[in-house]
């Protein structure tokens, strides 16, 4: 099974990915694919540069390229995987070719997300609220073409979603519940029975 994660910046995707790793899922990230390419091309690791390079990679090799690269890293289809950082609907389409793919979306209030981002303090993150709102708008798809960031569009086609305005512990509880529901559904579906 693959669980894909999409959602707004600093909404809790990494926490969800870590929670799934504790359940035995193997964690992969589309963003890491872009970071690797950034380093290979000698580009400074800023969120704006990562966004631009991700868009360039889609224009150069097709909008599903990041998902294609990730799927090549799945060496054991019997294991469970979590794929973080889905930002384009073509990536969703590529991943949906996998027999058991489910997408989870996560969102949080913008001011909360900014505060979380300031706390995590990644080198690639914006350093003030104005810069954050700019990259947040791009990430969500504002003024982006079909090779660009499309997080809001991806969130609309997710199988399930979480509005994360609570504690980390409660988020993990919610995720564990949702994943168990997905696994139950997947087990019933693969046995040939219907699920409602």
Please indicate whether residue 60 or residue 191 has the higher confidence score (pLDDT). 60
Looking at residue 101, its pLDDT comes to 95
Specify the pLDDT at position 187.
65
Stretch 4-13: mean pLDDT: 96
In the prediction, which pLDDT does 159 show? 93
Q: Please say whether the beta carbons of 27 and 21 come within 8 A.
A: yes
Residue 85 has pLDDT above 90, yes or no: yes
- Look at residue 141 and tell me if it is in a domain: yes
What's the pLDDT score for residue 185? Answer: 82
Residue 195 domain-assigned (yes or no): no
> Residue 191 has what pLDDT?
39
Domain membership flag for residue 189: no
At 189 the pLDDT is 55
Q: How many domains does the chain have?
A: 1
- Which is more confident, 125 or 59? 59
- Domain-embedded: residue 19: yes
Specify if 194 maps to a domain: no
User: Average pLDDT in the 47-69 region?
Assistant: 94
pLDDT for 124 equals 81
Tell me, yes or no, whether 191 lies in a domain. no
Q: Is residue 196 part of a domain?
A: no
pLDDT reading at 97 higher than 60:
yes
pLDDT of residue 108: 96
Backbone φ and ψ for 136, nearest 5 degrees, come out as -65, -40
CATH number of domain containing 86: 3.40.50.300
Distance CA 7, CA 140 (A): 9
61 belongs to a structural domain: yes
Range of the domain at 145: 2-181
Query: Which pTM value belongs to this model?
Result: 0.88
Q: Tell me the average pLDDT across 30-48.
A: 92
What is the structure's pLDDT at 190?
A: 46
pLDDT band at 188 (very low <50, low <70, confident <90, very high): low
Q: 194: pLDDT confidence band, cut at 50, 70 and 90?
A: very low
What is the rounded CA–CA span in Å between residue 137 and residue 123?
A: 20
- Express each pLDDT in 171-184 by its tens digit: 999 999 999 998 88
Ramachandran area for residue 172 (φ above 0: left; ψ -120 to 50: alpha; else beta):
alpha
Mean pLDDT of the chain: 91
Phi–psi pair at 21, nearest 5 degrees:
-60, -40
């Amino acid at each position: 099974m693959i669980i894909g994660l999409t959602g707004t910046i600093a909404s809790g995707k990494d926490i969800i990915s870590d929670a799934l790793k504790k359940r035995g899922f193997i964690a992969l990230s589309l963003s890491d694919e872009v970071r690797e390419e950034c380093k290979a091309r000698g580009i400074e690791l800023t969120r704006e540069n990562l966004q631009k390079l991700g868009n360039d990679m889609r224009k150069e090799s097709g909008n599903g390229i990041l998902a294609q690269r990730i799927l090549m890293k799945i060496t054991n289809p019997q294991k469970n995987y979590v794929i973080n950082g889905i930002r384009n609907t073509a990536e969703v389409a590529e991943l949906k070719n996998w027999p058991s793919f489910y997408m989870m979306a996560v969102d949080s209030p913008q001011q909360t997300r900014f505060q979380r981002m300031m706390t995590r303090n990644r080198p690639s993150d914006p350093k003030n609220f104005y810069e954050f709102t700019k990259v947040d708008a791009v990430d969500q798809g504002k003024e982006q073409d079909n090779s660009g960031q499309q997080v809001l569009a991806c969130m609309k086609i997710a199988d399930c979603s979480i509005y994360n305005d609570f504690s980390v512990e409660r988020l993990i509880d919610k995720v564990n519940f949702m994943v168990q529901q997905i696994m139950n559904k997947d087990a019933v579906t693969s046995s040939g029975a219907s699920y409602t």
